[in-house]
Amino acid sequence: MTLTFVWRPIPGAGRHAFPVAALKLAGDAKATAYCRAEADAAQLHDRSEMDWICETTCAACWKALSARE
Ligand SMILES: [Zn+2]
């Protein structure tokens, strides 16, 4: 099975699901989550444990992912 998405916490904006391809974007590019929220690609890297704890899972991303199956 191939992993096609990754969850990443965006400080102040919640934990969103992004296509794995978003991890390969340049730092100044915009990554689009499954819920259509945008984040700087640089924000997908080097997340601290604190970011994971503080941000809540995005319900819209969760629904978008479950709708794909
Ligand atoms: Zn989201």
How many Å separate Cα 48 from the centre of its chain?
A: 14
Report CA(40)–ligand 1 centroid distance (Å): 14
Antiparallel, parallel or unpaired: β 5-10 and 14-19:
antiparallel
Total tally of structural domains belonging to the chain? 1
- Return the bridge partners of 45, or none: none
Asked whether the predicted pLDDT for residue 1 surpasses 90, the reply is no
* Furthest C-alpha separation in the chain: 32
pTM, two decimal places: 0.89
| pLDDT at residue 9 tops 80 | yes
CA of 60 to the centre of ligand 1 (A): 5
Tell me the per-residue pLDDT of 10-69, one tens digit each, with 9 for 90 and over: 999 999 999 999 999 998 899 999 999 999 999 999 899 999 999 999 999 999 999 876
Give residue 20 CA to ligand 1 midpoint distance, Å: 14
Q: d(Cα 36, Cα 22) in Å, to the nearest integer?
A: 13
Q: Which domain holds residue 9?
A: 5-67
Q: How far apart are CA 59 and CA 48, in angstroms?
A: 22
**How far away, in angstroms, is 1 Cα from ligand 1 center?**
23
